[in-house]
Structure 1
Amino acid sequence: MDLRQRVVAAVEEGASCRAAAKRFGVGASSAIRWVSRVNARGTLEADKRGGNVRSHRNDAHLELIFGWIAEKPDLTLAEVAERLGDAVGYRPLPSIVCRFFKRHGVTRKKRLLMLPIQESMEP
């Protein structure tokens, strides 16, 4: 942050972005971007990086989704996404639905019912 402030201060004192970048040993594109950020936003703070932002949209429909799962426990992630699209007009990717379930501690493993071994089938 200190380096960004020194580069922007040099530009505000009259140096070009490229000259300030060379003086402080940073890339010209970085200096141009930092000066633009100060002019547009008034701050040098970096943007928040990464993170999951889309799966939280499903939280507004929590009761609806849990109702579907209670009604039909073997729904696939794609089927839940499709139902959301039909019900509320927002169709998330199945991976977004998966993150929603993980965040709420819902485990949905499909298990095949094991048939009992019949004793009459022994060789």
Structure 2
Amino acid sequence: MGKSYSSDLRDRVVGFVEAGHSRRAAARHFGVSESFAVKLMQRVERHGTAAPVRQGRPPGGRLVAFEAFLVAAVEAKPDITMPELAARLSAERGMKAAPAELSRFLCRRGFTYKKSPDGVGARTRGDPG
């Protein structure tokens, strides 16, 4: 993913345009693309700031809304498999999620998977740090 232009450059482009120059002239003057100058000024007009938008996925993920449901399901039945949990989530909440996605989500919440000597495993919640 590319890096955002510096705040200093953004401010200089905005100042140049606000001083009466066109957006395309500002782009040529500062050596940036025309689309950057146009979109930057649109952002300033709409939001009042030249600061870059946060890049990447939103923090937390799409399962955050179902965290209480997932934690309660695992604590009620610690030996639940991830395919069973995915099926239950789909049936009861209408959210489809891959078993691996659920496993990663639970690991981030401090759950671990431990097998006992008899071969049966169970998820337990340890220190989430």
Report the TM-score, using the length of structure 1 for normalisation: 0.72
| 2:104 counterpart of 1:105 | no
Does the aligned pair in 1 maintain the 2:89–2:96 contact within 8 Å?
yes
Structure 2: tracts of 5 or more residues without a match? 1-6, 120-129
In the other structure, the counterpart of 2:92 is: 87
Deviates more, 1:35-44 or 1:100-109: 100-109
Measured in 1, the distance between the counterparts of 2:32 and 2:116 equals 56
Structure 1: tracts of 5 or more residues without a match? 115-123
Measured in 1, the distance between the counterparts of 2:63 and 2:50 equals 29
Deviation per CA, 1:37-95, whole angstroms, max 9, x where unpaired? 1111111222222244323223232443324542xx1412x331221121122233334
For the residue of structure 2 that corresponds to 1:47, the secondary structure is: coil
More helix by share: 1
| 2:72 counterpart of 1:64 | yes
- Percent of aligned pairs with the same amino acid: 36
In the other structure, the counterpart of 1:119 is: none
In the other structure, the counterpart of 2:24 is: 18
Does the aligned pair in 2 maintain the 1:84–1:90 contact within 8 Å?
yes
Q: Residue type matched to 1:42 in 2?
A: G
Measured in 2, the distance between the counterparts of 1:111 and 1:22 equals 67
Does the aligned pair in 2 maintain the 1:58–1:100 contact within 8 Å?
no
For the residue of structure 2 that corresponds to 1:107, the secondary structure is: strand
Change (3 A) 1:85 1:74: closer
In the other structure, the counterpart of 1:42 is: 48
Measured in 1, the distance between the counterparts of 2:74 and 2:46 equals 44
Structure 1: which 4+ aligned runs deviate by more than 4 Å?
A: 109-114
Report the TM-score, using the length of structure 2 for normalisation: 0.69
| Deviation, structure 1 residue 103 | 0.9
Give aligned pairs, total.
Answer: 111
More strand by share: 2
| Deviation, structure 1 residue 3 | 0.6
| Deviation, structure 1 residue 104 | 1.5
| Greater Rg by CA | 1
Change (3 A) 1:47 1:86: same
Does the aligned pair in 1 maintain the 2:74–2:80 contact within 8 Å?
no
